A = this chain, B = another copy of it.
Amino acid sequence: MFASLRTSLRLLGQQTSNCVLKSSTEQNRNLVLCARAMSSTPNTNYDFQSLKVHSPAEFVKHVEMNRPNKMNTMNPDVWREVEECFDKLADDEECRVVILSGAGKIFTAGLDLTDTSLLQIVTSDEDCSRKAFKMSKFITKFQQSFTAIEKCPKPVIAAVHSACIGGGIDMISACDIRYCTQDAWFQIKEVDVGLAADIGTLQRFPKIVGNDSLARELTYTARKFYSDEAKSIGFVSRILQDKEQMMKAALDVATCIAAKSPVAVQGSKINLIYSRDHSVSEGLDYNAKWNSAMLQSDDLMKAATAFVNKSKPVFAKL
């Protein structure tokens, strides 16, 4: 909402944003501006079995699902770690933005069917009501895993290559931004295994795409859909040629976001999610209350000064 007269005049003649992003309609620009090498060392503060956490750039964390031999399938241990990891990232002042990707040949094949925890509940000799109580807790735990991604106030960019199946759709639907490779494909797999999705796909997927008819078709038929169809309905905002290009693009946008005021970015995420789930007037009220404290941030002055000085603002940690 801010742009002074002088600012505005400049806006017309020159680049004012801190970094330059390829809009999806400008596919031939050079991407070198702020990208750094992805080959950074794993962050030793984030010690997980199924996840590897890198720090590819200042304030950027890269969470990599790291069970390539298991096709990054998900079991209760994975959920627990995902929740713990994103709870940590939420509190980590060194983190302002997160990239989420999968190691190995595919992004994720979804639930690990070799895991027997669900089966144990179903096949116990308790009555239906007691199993239902346990099942409800079991599902809720799983849901909390991906909800932790949404509750983390730092933007999360999902970078999907090859297959993203079942629980993978639930997972990336809880992310902020979705990029994928040309060869990526997606599948809302659940009906094929005899159940209705319950970890977020039915809640979040239709609210982030612009074609409800197709969203339902994909849900009821469990058919694969490919990168171009994903883009055409607004599920991903960008298709890159291959994984390398995609990770570069993801890092670009992450680095760009990391350079912004964390008060501004995290406040935006919190209010976007609140507004999705409320009426416009409720969202406005919440936003006004939120900003009544946040506009007292030093970041406004720093951003303004940096703009005038054509320097890069340095924001305090958050």
Contacts and interface: CB of A to CB of B under 8 A. Distances in A.
Contact of A73 (B8, B191, B269, B304): B8
Contacts of A297: 127-130, 194-195
B292 A139 contact: yes
A131 interface: yes
Nearest to A156: B216
A109 interface: yes
A207 interface: yes
Interface residues of A, number: 154
A291 B6 CA distance: 37
Given A133-B318, A237-B214, A4 B203 contact: no
Q: Considering residues A126, A177, A195, A265, which has the most beta carbons from chain B within 10 angstroms of its beta carbon?
A: A195
A2 B226 contact: no
A179 to B, nearest CB: 8
B196 A290 contact: yes
B260 A113 contact: no
Interface stretch (A48-56, A58-66, A276-284): A276-284
What is the interface of chain A mostly: helix, strand, loop, or mixed?
helix
A112 B98 CA distance: 33
Interface in A194-224: 194-204, 206-217, 219-224
B210 A234 contact: yes
B5 A113 contact: yes
Nearest to A190: B1
Contact of A272 (B155, B216, B288): B216
Counting from the closest, the 5 A-B pairs by CB-CB distance are: A210-B210, A4-B113, A211-B234, A8-B109, A196-B267
Given A21-B223, A155-B220, A210 B209 contact: yes
Contact of A276 (B8, B70, B198, B280): B280
A109 B280 contact: no
Given A234-B213, A292-B136, A293-B132, A265 B5 contact: no
Contacts of A198: 1, 271, 284, 287-288, 290-291
Given A127-B296, A300-B193, A3 B290 contact: no
Contacts of A286: 286, 289
A264 interface: yes
A17 B192 CA distance: 7
Interface string A222-263: 111110110011111100000000000000010011001101
A105 B318 CA distance: 39
A236 B165 CA distance: 25
A265 to B, nearest CB: 6
Contacts of A288: 136, 139-140, 143, 198
